[in-house]
Amino acid sequence: MTDDQSPRRISRRDLLRSAGLAGAAAILPGSLHGLAEGEGEVLPDETPTPAASGAVRSGLTMNLTVEEAEILNAMIGRLIPDDEYGPGAQEAGAFGYIDRELGGALAASREIYRAGLLALDRYAQYSRGARFIDLDHTDQDSVLFDVQTGGATGSGAGFLGSSAAFFNLVRAHTWQATFGDPYYGGNRDFIGWDLIDYPGPRMAVSVEDQKLLESGALQSLRRSVYE
């Protein structure tokens, strides 16, 4: 098996390509209307989004407490981690996007986040003996697997409904933030598009462009569709 076909390469790149399709394939006005019903339009925010770790340390969160922000930041860091193949969701500004939009387009999900993040932390303490942010990455991944599969639902930790529903909600918003058009406040420095080798929005694609795309030689246009 060659290096490009290694399980790690397949897991990383193929998963991200699949995850990024909704966020990058056809980014048009309204395409980032939230996945939960009742969420309104995402408007551009002219205030630069701070790095998640800095915001958490300084308490400069917008809609989450510092405790909730720490847990969400750690969870995001495991959903799309920074590794040898590139930066992840934290570096792409996913935390800032979600924290800000919980007061706007994602407001319908705010209480689900608050309950779910604290429930995740309680479940980590109950099942692994430490707060989620204090676990090593292996144990964090193990906890998230329980939450994703619904195994944490009946633990009494405090999830509003299925733990899997909470996991899927955070994952969907993390994908929005990482792979969506930078116009909406995520995908800082086009990190998400670079991860999935998305060549950027084009009004038209020529036959030659298509050939270059298929060969991996098409030059990326690192710009918003609104530019």
Alpha-carbon torsion (160, 136, 13, 43), positive or negative: positive
Rounded Cα gap, residues 78 and 142, in angstroms? 11
Determine contact, residues 39/107, Cβ cutoff 8 Å: yes
Burial 112-130 (b: 16+ CB within 10 A, else e): bbbbbbbbbbbbbbebbee
Length of the chain (residues): 227
Token digits of residue 66: 């510092």
Token digits of residue 12: 């990383």
Whole-structure pTM value = 0.72
Instruction: Show pLDDT as tens, one digit a residue, over the chain (227 residues).
Output: 434 443 333 344 444 444 444 333 333 233 333 323 333 333 333 333 344 555 555 557 889 999 999 999 999 999 999 888 789 999 999 999 999 999 999 999 999 999 999 999 999 999 999 999 999 999 999 999 999 999 999 999 999 999 999 999 999 999 999 998 888 888 888 888 888 777 766 666 677 767 766 677 666 766 676 66
Determine contact, residues 168/141, Cβ cutoff 8 Å: no
